[in-house]
Amino acid sequence: MTRSHYILFAFLACVAALPLFGEAYALRLGTMACMYAVFALSWNIVGGFAGYPSFSTAAFFGLGAYSTGILMNKGVPLLVSVGVSLVFCLLLAAAFGAVLLRLRGHYFAIASLSLVEVFRELVNNATDLTGGGMGLNIPLVSGSSVMSDATFFFYAMWGLLLITAITVTIVATSKLGFGLNCIRQNETAASMVGLNATLYKAIAFGLSACFVGAAGGLYAAWVHYIDPSDVFDILYSVKPIVMALMGGLGSPLGVVFGAFLYLGLEEVVWRNYIQIHSGVLGVLIILLLLFLPHGLVSLRIEKIRQALFGRKASHV
């Protein structure tokens, strides 16, 4: 593990202390921030490590939400339902990935985007099972107070974020991570030296989908009601990419910081510019990417470099 990995887990430990001093509103923001971080970390496996621009996050988020909701309506406990959704999304994404990841560049991006519409239409037409366009009600996990409910889902989403971060760290420091980096740099050369690129990419695509599916399941149980236009919202596919770019593409620490920064900006802009919040948020993101093209991680590295070489230059 590198120093950035230790910083990441120290940061997550600090986030876990939020219920000690936060109200229900702060816990809601903390839950959303953890969910966004799960999105960004998951996307980073296939987009940051392997270099494949996936737009399928919304597809597996919605699929996880609906599979969990359907299981809970049949009396299956929440954690079991979320676990089943995780495994289901992992296997389904790996199968799709083995096919879709034979495409490259914008061809793959369009193909992954089409998954969102395919799954949305399937859910819309399976009216008896999903409720179709009328949506699906999810039973309450418990009849406890608002604060205890908020605390429960905060820790559930935080726990999922911790598992995702551990998995991404293992991938980054393993043979799989090395192989994905080789694929990003030159896939043809990697295949020529014996790397099974199809297998590596399918595993990466499965890992990038399973935690998003589990987050969808927790989200469904949290809000108690889902419909296709909500959980298959294409913005869920775009936001992780923006978060990863803001934090630092390929860096687990950077993408988590990017997710928390994105949520902070989104909340502040929404509060102050409710009528034009999407436009203002878009302008801020463009400015950040223009003046910080390599994300927050590069800002930290630049500061250290300036502190070292700048001070040295002043003595010359």
CA distance 50 to 54: 10
Is 201:50 a contact under the CB 8 Å cutoff?
Answer: yes
pLDDT number for residue 8: 84
Q: What is the pLDDT at residue 142?
A: 62
Assign residue 23 a region (left: φ > 0; alpha: ψ between -120 and 50; beta: otherwise).
beta
| pLDDT reported for residue 62 | 92
Say which residues have a Cβ less than 8 Å from residue 197's Cβ, sequence separation at least 6.
Answer: 179, 183, 187, 190, 191
pLDDT, tens digit only, all 316 positions of the chain: 777 788 888 888 898 888 888 788 888 999 999 999 999 999 988 888 888 888 889 999 999 999 999 999 888 898 999 999 999 999 999 888 888 888 877 888 888 888 888 999 999 888 888 888 888 888 877 656 778 888 889 999 999 999 999 999 999 888 888 888 888 888 888 888 778 888 888 899 999 899 999 999 999 999 889 988 889 988 888 888 888 888 887 788 888 888 898 888 888 877 777 667 677 777 777 777 777 777 777 776 556 556 555 554 444 3
Query: What span, in angstroms and rounded, lies between the C-alpha atoms of 17 and 26?
Result: 12
The tens digit of pLDDT for each residue in 91-104 reads: 999 888 888 888 87
CA distance 246 to 170: 23
Instruction: Check residue 212 and give its pLDDT.
Output: 93
